[in-house]
Amino acid sequence: MKKEKTIIIVGGGFAGLQLVDQLKNQSHFKVILVDLNNYNFFPPLLYQVAAGFMEPSAISYPYRKILRNKNVGFRMGELQEVIPEENKIILSNGELHYDILVMSTGAETNFFGNENIAKLSLPMKTISDALALRNLIFTRLERATRITDPNRRKTLLSFVIAGAGPTGVELSGLFSEMRAHILAKDYPELDTSDLGDIYLIDGQDAVLAAMSKKTQEYTYDKLKDYGINIKLNTFVNDFKDDVVYLSDGTEIHSRNLIWAAGISARTFKGFKEASYGRGKRLKTNGHNLVEGYNNIYAIGDGSIVMDDKKYPDGHPQLAQVAIQQALNLGRNLLSNDWKAFSYNDKGSMAIIGTNKAVTDGPNQKFFLKGFIAWWVWIFVHIMSLVNFRNRMRAFYDWMGYYINKDQSFRMIIRPKEKSQK
């Protein structure tokens, strides 16, 4: 009989949850999932929560309800330090010992050292970020109904989105549809001339830079049709006093900078400095074993495989990479025949607006656009949600908007903070 081993998985995102699924019901493993939150959420749909098109519960689900297996436990806490010499991790609320440690901590927003942007802009990485943005959007609209100065209204209602990847593209398209279909109905005090501009800024020379040329061109044209102001080869240099300063000298008067321009892996005390590589990602071999350790693995956005010649700069930080790494590591842990990770590109996609999306096939071998790509996007995202309940809620929300051109999750909800004695 095999001796039971304790496997601690830090981070319950795509990679962490997939690995738990691989190892559940395995009697010779005791699995403990550690996460800062007590729920899993689906990051690709955060922007829909932020714009009030979906409720948070449609894309999130409690870990303890997911992890109802005899050999799987859960610990809510924040990782503070790893002590490899003692096979121990220190959390914000205690410590845990492991035989095998798997780091699947994902990535966080990268503000590239700009303090004003870090302090004043709105990131899009967590449910809290999405709800903060939702509160801001609809607070701005309510305030605008009381302002008579057209210039102040425009500053209040102009949105600058930094980063023209999928999140930036999808959010700018959604803002444009809100402006076209919802504001006139819900905010009759506002005239269309009062509505601010929507800017999409990126330092590269194309929107959706990681996708095919056809995809980029189609997306650019559709966003322009939506009235989005696109500025490429341009960086956001600063944000202060209700002005966004761009690298080309442009100054945009806006109170709203949404930051979707970059990510960086998280670092943790206890790891050797040499263990971190490009983008602060933990360097691993083909089996996702962290360099310099014999029982610590890293998967997902926070890892970088160093010996895959096809990806000398590391695999793309995408959900499919994280899921496939977890599947491979899970198979290896359950087998004596260890195999190196090999990424199978299944394509990529982005939604622009209703009936408008783009899909690149595996290795960009084919390209879909428009209504067909939009339905493919909906199907893939619904099936990627964690359970049937979430899938039905998401489908119901989307179909309701598709039919009525309206959504009903525009509540401004702020937690009330009681004073501490």
For 113-166, what is each residue's pLDDT tens digit? 899 999 999 999 999 999 999 999 999 999 999 998 988 999 999 999 999 999
Relative to beta strand 88-91, strand 79-83 is antiparallel
Q: Which fold has domain 5-36+77-109+264-333?
A: FAD/NAD(P)-binding domain (3.50.50)
Among candidates 160, 176, 167, 171, which has minimal Cα distance to 234? Answer: 160
- Give 115-261+347-404's CATH code, choosing from 3.40.50.720, 3.50.50.100, 1.20.120.1200, 3.40.50.300: 3.50.50.100
- Two tokens, residue 213: 């040329």
Do domains 5-36+77-109+264-333 and 115-261+347-404 share one topology? The answer is yes
The list of the chain residues with pLDDT below 50 reads 1, 421
Domain locations along the chain: 5-36+77-109+264-333, 115-261+347-404
- Two tokens, residue 273: 């400095």
pLDDT attached to residue 52 = 86
How confident is the model over 259-299, as pLDDT tens digits? 999 889 999 999 999 999 999 999 999 999 999 999 999 99
Question: How many Cα atoms within 13 Å fall on the side-chain side of residue 285?
Answer: 11
pLDDT attached to residue 260 = 92
- Two tokens, residue 402: 């598709």
Among candidates 16, 6, 7, 8, which has minimal Cα distance to 105? Answer: 16
pLDDT attached to residue 146 = 93
- Two tokens, residue 151: 């210039």
Torsion of CA 296, 300, 305, 311, to 10 degrees: 180
Among candidates 340, 339, 278, 285, which has minimal Cα distance to 307? Answer: 285
Distance CA 307, CA 414 (A): 47
Q: Is 373 exposed, middle or buried (0-12, 13-18, 19+ CB in 10 A)?
A: buried
Among candidates 39, 14, 43, 34, which has minimal Cα distance to 109? Answer: 43
Residue type, 76: M
Among candidates 103, 232, 215, 107, which has minimal Cα distance to 164? Answer: 232
pLDDT attached to residue 421 = 43
pLDDT attached to residue 140 = 93
Measuring CA to CA, how many Å separate 184 from each of 133, 148, 408? 21, 17, 15
